[in-house]
Amino acid sequence: MVRTRPLKVALLGCGVVGSQVARLMTAHADDLAARIGARVELAGVAVRRPDRARGDIAPELVTTDAEGLVTRGDIDVVIELIGGIEPARTLINAAFESGASVVTANKALLAGDGTALHAAAEKQAADLYFEASVAGAIPLLRPLRESLAGDRVDRVLGIVNGTTNFILDRMESSGAGYGEALAEATALGYAEADPTADVEGFDAAAKAAILAGIAFHTRVRLDDVHREGITEITAADIAGARQMGHTVKLLAICERAGDGRSVTARVHPAMIPLSHPLAGVREAYNAVFVEAEAAGRLMFYGPGAGGVPTASAVLGDLVAACRNKLTGGLGPRESAYAQLPVSPMGEVVTRYHVSLDVVDKPGVLAQCAMVFAAHGVSIDTVRQSGKDGEAKLVVVTHRAHDAALGATVEALRRLDTVHGVASTMRVEGE
């Protein structure tokens, strides 16, 4: 049954995602009404440049006064799709103060200020939904918050940035260097004019903070996430990975550590075996592996960005928030009761692939092996090749603390017989 008074929605931002949310709200208005139990009416659309063409949106709905729109008193749900920290944060808080629930895709804001936003929602008995903030269209946060609420999640491992996956995939498939692959990503619209947030891992780190917080019922801030980007990855690194049956991916990894008494969250490039399901994630797709005690291994895969796919996740949240408005119920709250400490990167246990340029003479391999042993790092495999007095030594270690692995590499650099450390990369997914 559809009730008489429509629910009023304020849309903040009408760009790549917002314009598609507005379009789909109109195109599917009858279905949404049937699913929610009330019609949903677009009450206003706040933008920065009001004179731009806005598709089928009635011009009288478009405003530059976002604050006036969210505080006018009759808005049921505010959809924030401006992005960035301000004015999004002020507007979301104003929405809660005015009694509205909020749907947002703003990972940067949630990773930095999630706790304060959740508290503001709690105070006003309002909903805060943010499915689209991680992995675009892929249903991931709701399964973690709701479907797995009775299980214990041990690990979340995933490709959560489409731009960097596209670049690494191109480097892998065509042998291109980083710069060439980035140029292609930019030309095809997969990378922004300033790609820093993507290629330096900031975007993935914000998503890792959100994922770790939900998975481990613990507050994980952006600063807690160790972050490395892909700008230093070379065609030689990709070829080296290929030689040992691996590929290179930018991974977000959140895990329980220290017998489950602490957690870690990190984003960095890593080699994974070609047989691993994440190795087959091509182009700009996203995929996330979740390992839970009872459920086992689950994989979520799909488009991690784009206006239309991301709008799907936003609309799913809109339906949930509207249903709660009608029934007087509330969606899941922030769950941070476990309050596990977040351990630094040095305590993460991982494996290294180290490629060294060394002098080609007897005893060098033994000398290097002693450096690994001195730091308590045991060697899994060694490959040596050389000619004309120069040699390459490629070592893959067993699992050890990241701090010990890092110290080993620094000590190797200081050996007279080591001309240089050509590359180091962590090895995951085995």
Ligand X SMILES: NC(=O)c1ccc[n+]([C@@H]2O[C@H](COP(=O)([O-])OP(=O)(O)OC[C@H]3O[C@@H](n4cnc5c(N)ncnc54)[C@H](OP(=O)(O)O)[C@@H]3O)[C@@H](O)[C@H]2O)c1
271 lies in the binding site for ligand X (CB under 6 A) = no
365 lies in the binding site for ligand X (CB under 6 A) = no
In whole angstroms, what is the distance from residue 60 CA to residue 62 CA? 6
The burial class, CB within 10 Å (0-12 / 13-18 / 19+), for 41 is middle
Q: Tell the smallest beta-carbon distance from residue 49 to ligand X (Å).
A: 3
Site for ligand X, residues 26 to 55, rule: CB under 6 A: 46-49, 52
**Closer residue to ligand X (CB): 108 or 340:** 108
**Closer residue to ligand X (CB): 44 or 213:** 44
Give, in order, the Cα–Cα distances in Å from 22 to each of 14, 41, 127, 130, 219: 8, 10, 20, 17, 33
Q: Tell the smallest beta-carbon distance from residue 252 to ligand X (Å).
A: 15
Considering only the stretches 8-16, 180-188, 246-254, 338-346, report the one whose residues sit in contact with ligand X under the rule CB under 6 A.
8-16
Nearest CA to 136 out of 154, 168, 159 is that of 159
Considering only the stretches 13-21, 163-171, 347-355, 390-398, report the one whose residues sit in contact with ligand X under the rule CB under 6 A.
13-21
Q: Tell the smallest beta-carbon distance from residue 121 to ligand X (Å).
A: 17
Angle between helices 235-243 and 162-174 (to 10 degrees): 70
Considering only the stretches 14-22, 236-244, 315-323, 414-422, report the one whose residues sit in contact with ligand X under the rule CB under 6 A.
14-22
Q: Tell the smallest beta-carbon distance from residue 45 to ligand X (Å).
A: 8
310 lies in the binding site for ligand X (CB under 6 A) = yes
284 lies in the binding site for ligand X (CB under 6 A) = no
User: What single letter denotes the amino acid at residue 190?
Assistant: Y
In whole angstroms, what is the distance from residue 37 CA to residue 39 CA? 7
Copy the structure tokens of residue 34: 């049937």
The helix (run of H) or strand (run of E) holding residue 302 is: strand 296-303
**Closer residue to ligand X (CB): 134 or 427:** 134
Burial letters 340-376, b for 16+ CB under 10 A, else e: bebbebeebebbbbbbbebbbeeebeeebeebbeebe
Q: Tell the smallest beta-carbon distance from residue 303 to ligand X (Å).
A: 9
Task: Report which DSSP code applies to 399.
Answer: S
Cβ atoms 346, 37 nearer than 8 A: no
Residue with tokens 């909903």, as numbered in its chain: 127
Q: Tell the smallest beta-carbon distance from residue 47 to ligand X (Å).
A: 4
136 lies in the binding site for ligand X (CB under 6 A) = yes
Site for ligand X, residues 60 to 119, rule: CB under 6 A: 66, 81-83, 87, 105-107
Give the CB-nearest residue to ligand X.
15
Output the CA torsion sign for 182, 106, 278, 226: positive
**Looking at 201, 240, 306, 429, which residue binds ligand X (CB under 6 A)?**
306
Kindly report the length of the chain.
430
**Closer residue to ligand X (CB): 132 or 270:** 132
**Looking at 7, 8, 18, 375, which residue binds ligand X (CB under 6 A)?**
18
* Residue of 107, 207, 249, 325 marked catalytic: 207
Q: Tell the smallest beta-carbon distance from residue 310 to ligand X (Å).
A: 4
Cα first-last separation, the chain: 52
Considering only the stretches 1-9, 16-24, 114-122, 218-226, report the one whose residues sit in contact with ligand X under the rule CB under 6 A.
16-24
If one counts every other C-beta atom within 10 angstroms of the C-beta of residue 317, the result is 26
**Closer residue to ligand X (CB): 46 or 393:** 46
Copy the structure tokens of residue 369: 């092996």
**Closer residue to ligand X (CB): 89 or 426:** 89
Q: Tell the smallest beta-carbon distance from residue 57 to ligand X (Å).
A: 11
How many of the chain's residues bind ligand X (CB under 6 A)? 24
Q: Is 150 left (phi over 0), alpha (psi -120 to 50) or beta?
A: alpha
**Closer residue to ligand X (CB): 12 or 395:** 12
- The helices-and-strands tally (H runs, E runs) of the chain is 14, 17
Q: Which residues make beta-bridge pairs with 421?
A: 356
Active-site residue 207, yes or no?
yes
**Closer residue to ligand X (CB): 162 or 429:** 162
One-character DSSP codes across 193-214: SS-HHHHTSHHHHHHHHHHHHH
**Looking at 10, 17, 160, 209, which residue binds ligand X (CB under 6 A)?**
17
Q: Which residues are catalytic?
A: 207
**Can you give the binding site for ligand X, defined by CB under 6 A?**
13-18, 46-49, 52, 66, 81-83, 87, 105-107, 132, 136, 305-306, 310
